[in-house]
Amino acid sequence: MRNVPLVLILCASVSGCASVNRTLDKGTGAFGELLLPVSEEVQLGNRLAAEVNQQEKILQDPQVQAYVNSVGQLIVKASGDKRDGIRYSFTVIDQPGAINAFALPGGHIYVYSGLIKAARSEAELAGVLAHEVGHVTSRHAAQALGTAYGLQTLSAIALGQNPGALQQLAAGIAAQGYMARHSRDAEREADAKGLQYMTKAGYDPKAMPRFFEELVRISGSSNAVAEFFASHPNPKERVKNLNADIAKMGNPTGKASIVGGFDQIQARLQGGRPAPSAPPSGGTAPPSGGGAPAPGGAPAPAPAPAPAPKK
């Protein structure tokens, strides 16, 4: 089902594909935000995460998963997001050739192993995770889905009353490699919030624009960057905006590493070594809201989903 485009799934639920694109491009999210309660957003995200975990190839390396979760939870703590029911999880998808990340409603964040390999420091990875946390705190996914689907369909999916639509939506996410193409304003907001979160967590904020600069540098020799560009605005523009924001913040400094062990994590992804039971060096960051949950919402120290079927 990986060849089902997400835009076709969205178009099947409304009158006319062009109208959906215009709505999403303008960043009209108030409709979805007003009509989708946080409680239903959480249920929707949990159901989508369970489906995505079945359709994607989840990396079977507990040490890498725990490391990414540790970095992510530092960002979550800095964000101050304590909304009822929102529990953040960070899951690595095993696709070395994909440089991307996306966030589902309710706090489920996914990052592809290819992105971790492309990053040059823990702080650069933290910048990507912070951007995705910014999408969650701004409810961008819920807004986009609410705009495209409407209250009745979304509520039915969230409450488990339309399993067919749920499976189709999850298949589209897996096929595209991202949740949806957010508006330029939404991406700008996620960048700005993410920059604040990673800075407050203690990371060097300049690592975020540096990562985008690296993507621009390797874009001519890597097809993997194409998916990232398809789901995110022009990276050169983002670098300019981020550097301006950093200057407004007074050019704060921060660390390239807090959890520690980024080089070892990259080596594991390069060499495919078996995973020991020990956590990554530097320990695990204090969890937010009871720790990272499994897709069904039960707390767990780090995501460890069941193996997905081979594609």
Concatenating the DSSP letter of every residue in 31-79 gives HHHHHS-HHHHHHHHHHHHHHHHHHS-B---HHHHHHHHHHHHHHHHHH
Q: How many angstroms separate the CA atoms of 171 and 149, rounded?
A: 16
**Report for 20-24, 76-80, 96-100: range of highest mean pLDDT:** 76-80
Determine the pLDDT at residue 224.
61
Strand ranges inside the chain, DSSP E: 89-93, 101-103, 108-112
Determine the pLDDT at residue 220.
62
Determine the pLDDT at residue 182.
65
Range 65-84 average pLDDT: 97
Determine the pLDDT at residue 185.
81
Q: How far is CA 25 from the centre of its chain?
A: 20
Q: What is the pTM of this model?
A: 0.73
Average pLDDT over the chain, rounded to an integer? 75
Q: Are 1 and 310 in contact (CB under 8 A)?
A: no
Range 243-261 average pLDDT: 97
Q: Are 289 and 35 in contact (CB under 8 A)?
A: no
pLDDT tens string 117-166: 999 999 999 999 999 999 999 988 877 777 766 677 777 788 787 787 77
| Count of CB atoms situated within 10 Å of the CB of 217 | 11
Determine the pLDDT at residue 9.
32
Asked whether the predicted pLDDT for residue 86 surpasses 80, the reply is yes
Determine the pLDDT at residue 26.
32
Q: Which residue has the higher pLDDT, 288 or 93?
A: 93
Asked whether the predicted pLDDT for residue 168 surpasses 50, the reply is yes
Asked whether the predicted pLDDT for residue 20 surpasses 50, the reply is no
Asked whether the predicted pLDDT for residue 194 surpasses 80, the reply is yes
Q: Are 240 and 208 in contact (CB under 8 A)?
A: no
Q: Which helix (H) or strand (E) holds 128?
A: helix 122-137
